[in-house]
Structure 1
Amino acid sequence: MPWLAQLDLDYSMAAERTRVHFHHDGPLRVLRSLYPEGDAICHNVLVHPPGGLVGGDTLDIRVRVQPQAHALVTTPGATRFYKTQGETATQRTHLQLDAGARLEWLPLEALAYNACDAHNQLTLALAPGAELIAWDITAFGLPHAGEPFVQGQFTQHMAWPGHWLEHGTLRAEDARLMDGPLGLAGQRCMGSLVLACGTPLTRVQREQLLDATRAVLDTHPQGAWCGITAPNEHMLVLRGLAPVVEPLMQLWQQVRACWRQQHWGLPGTAPRIWSM
C-alpha cells in the first residue's frame, strides 16, 4: 500500500518565543522543539520513520511562519526515492511566510536511487518583510556502493510565483544531460541555495551578498563548480555540482552561515543533528 503522509507546521511568536503547532497524518512528524539560540528561534527536526519513498508514496509538507517568528527546519538524514515499479513517488513542500517572518528550510539531501521515478516540488509564498534561506541538494545513484543512476528519472520543481521558476526532468538515459558539458558534466550531485526576500533587496545589499558569497566559493575546493546570481531584486540563487553530496553540503553550510551573518547579523549556528 502506498504511503500518504501529511505534516502542517505553524510557527507563531508569543511572549518573545517562537512556538510551533503541528498536525500530522501518516508517518511524518517533528521532534521536540529546541532553542540553542534562545527563545526567538525555534529549531525542529522533521522525521519520516519509513526512511524513504517508493512508487505511489506522497509526502505533503506545509509550513507557515507567522509575523516575527523565526523557524529552522532540518532532517536527521537523507530523503530516499527508491526504485519504482511504475508509479511516481512525490514530495510536495509549500512554505508560507507572513510579514516579518523568517524561515530556514535546510533538509539534508535527497537520494535518487537507480530506477526511481521521483517528483520533488517546492513552492514559496513570501509577504513583504519575510525572508527565507532554503536549500535543495539531490544526489543520483549510490556511487560508493557501486549502484550508479542508469535508469529512472527525477523531476525537480521549485517556484515562487511571479518571481522565480525552475523546472526540469533528469532522465538517467539522457547521456547529453547527465554527462555533457552543458548538463551535469558527469557530476552526480546538484544543489540550489536560495535567499528569498518579500521586500526587495537594495542594489547595495545584493552586491554585498554576492561579493561575500563569491569569497566563500573562492576558498572552497568545490567553489569552481558553483555560481551565484541575483535573478531579480528579491533573490539570490546559488547553484552547484559535485561528484558526491559531502563537498556540496559542506559548502552550502558555509554559505548559509555567511548569509546569516551578513544579512541577519546572526552567527552561523548549526542544528545539533548535523553533528550526529
Structure 2
Amino acid sequence: MAWHAELSIRYFRDNERTTALDRHQGPLRVLQRLYPEGPRTCHHVLVHPPGGVAGGDELHLSLQLEPGTHALLTTPGATRFYRSAGETALQSVKATLQGDARLEWLPLEAIAHDACRAENHLRFELQDQAQMMGCDVIALGLPAAGDPWRRGSFLQHMELPGVWLERGHLDAADTRLLDSPLGWAGQRVLATLWFASAQPLPAALREALLEAGRALCEGEPRAGVTSPSPRVVVLRMLAARVEPAQRLLQQVWMRWRESAWQLPPCPPRVWRT
C-alpha cells in the first residue's frame, strides 16, 4: 500500500517568539518545537514513521513563514528512497517566506537505493527582505555496504522562482554522466548548500560568503563555491561518502550563519544522536 502524506506548517510571531501551527494527513509529522537559542528561532524535526519512501508514495510539505519569524528544520536521519516495482516515489517541499523571515532548511541526506524511481522537488519563494539557507545531499546507493546503485532513476528539482533553478535527471545506466571526469567522476554523493535572499546581496556580504566558503573548501578538489545570481551563493561538492560532504556543508553553514546573520553556530541536537 502506498503512503500519501501531507504536512503544512505556518510560522508566526507571538511577541518575541516564533511559534507554529501544523496540520497533517498521513504519516508525516513534526516533533515538538525547540528553542535552544532563544525564542526568536524555532527548531523543528520532521519525521516520517514508515522510515522510507517507496514507489507510489507521495510526501508533500508546505511551509509558510510570516514576517519576523525564523525556523530551522531538519530530519533525524536519512530519507531513503527504496526499490520500486515501477511507480515513482515523490517528495515535494514548497515554502513561502514573507517580510524579513528566515529559513534554514537542513535535512540529512537522501539515499537512492538500487532500483528506486524517485523525484525530489524543492521550491522556495522569498518575498520582501526574506533570506534562507538550505542544503541537499543525495547519495546513490550504499557502496560501503556492497549495495551500489545499478538500476533506477532520480530526478532532483531545486528552485527559487525567477532566480535560480537546478534540475537534473539521474539514471543509473548513464555511465557517461556518473563516471566521466566531466560528470560525477565515479563519485556517488552530490552535496549542495546555498544562501539566498529576496533582494540582491550587498556586494561586501556576497564576497564574504564566497570567501568563507572557498576557504573551507581548500583541500577538497571536488568542491567549489559560486554565485549564479546576485541573490544566491551556492556550494557544491562531489564525494565518495556522505560523511565528508556533511562535515563540509555544516562547517560552511555555521560560518555563513555568523557572517550573514551574526548568529553563533547552533547545530540541531538530533545531529549528535
Under a length normalisation based on structure 1, what TM-score does the superposition of the two structures give? 0.97
The answer to whether structure 1 residue 248 and structure 2 residue 245 are counterparts is yes
Q: CA deviation at 1:28?
A: 0.4
Matches within 5 A, 1:23-172: 23-172=23-172
- Once the two structures are superposed, residues 67-96 of structure 1 have per-residue CA deviations (whole angstroms, 9 ceiling, x without a partner) of 010000000000000000000000000111
Q: CA deviation at 1:161?
A: 1.4
Q: CA deviation at 1:253?
A: 0.4
Measure the CA separation in 2 of the matches of 1:195 and 1:146. Answer: 35
**Partner residue, 2:199:** 199
RMSD of aligned residue pairs (Cα, Å): 0.8
Q: CA deviation at 1:18?
A: 0.5
**Structure 1, unaligned runs of 5 or more:** none
Measure the CA separation in 2 of the matches of 1:258 and 1:77. Answer: 23
Measure the CA separation in 2 of the matches of 1:274 and 1:224. Answer: 26
SS in 2 for 1:24: strand
Q: CA deviation at 1:182?
A: 1.2
- Once the two structures are superposed, residues 188-242 of structure 1 have per-residue CA deviations (whole angstroms, 9 ceiling, x without a partner) of 1001111010121022221111111111112xx5x32111111111110111111
Deviates more, 1:48-57 or 1:200-209: 200-209
Aligned residues of 2:11 and 2:20 also touching (Cα < 8 A): yes
Q: CA deviation at 1:154?
A: 0.5
Q: CA deviation at 1:267?
A: 0.6
**Partner residue, 2:227:** 230
Measure the CA separation in 2 of the matches of 1:96 and 1:255. Answer: 24
SS in 2 for 1:95: strand
SS in 2 for 1:193: strand
**Partner residue, 2:255:** 258
**Partner residue, 1:15:** 15
Measure the CA separation in 1 of the matches of 2:96 and 2:83. Answer: 32
Deviates more, 1:204-213 or 1:251-260: 204-213
SS in 1 for 2:255: helix
SS in 1 for 2:221: helix
The answer to whether structure 1 residue 273 and structure 2 residue 254 are counterparts is no
Q: CA deviation at 1:264?
A: 0.4
Measure the CA separation in 2 of the matches of 1:131 and 1:234. Answer: 9
Measure the CA separation in 2 of the matches of 1:134 and 1:208. Answer: 18
- Which one-letter code corresponds to 2:209 in the other structure? L
Measure the CA separation in 2 of the matches of 1:158 and 1:209. Answer: 20
Measure the CA separation in 2 of the matches of 1:161 and 1:40. Answer: 27
Aligned residues of 2:99 and 2:128 also touching (Cα < 8 A): yes
Return structure 1 stretches of 4+ with deviation > 3 angstroms: none
**Partner residue, 1:215:** 215
SS in 2 for 1:53: coil
Question: How many pairs are equivalent?
Answer: 273
Deviates more, 1:199-208 or 1:97-106: 199-208
Measure the CA separation in 2 of the matches of 1:245 and 1:121. Answer: 21
SS in 2 for 1:241: strand
Amino-acid identity (%): 50
Measure the CA separation in 1 of the matches of 2:195 and 2:183. Answer: 24
Measure the CA separation in 2 of the matches of 1:135 and 1:38. Answer: 23
- Once the two structures are superposed, residues 110-157 of structure 1 have per-residue CA deviations (whole angstroms, 9 ceiling, x without a partner) of 000000000000011001210100000000001121000010011001
Aligned residues of 2:205 and 2:259 also touching (Cα < 8 A): no
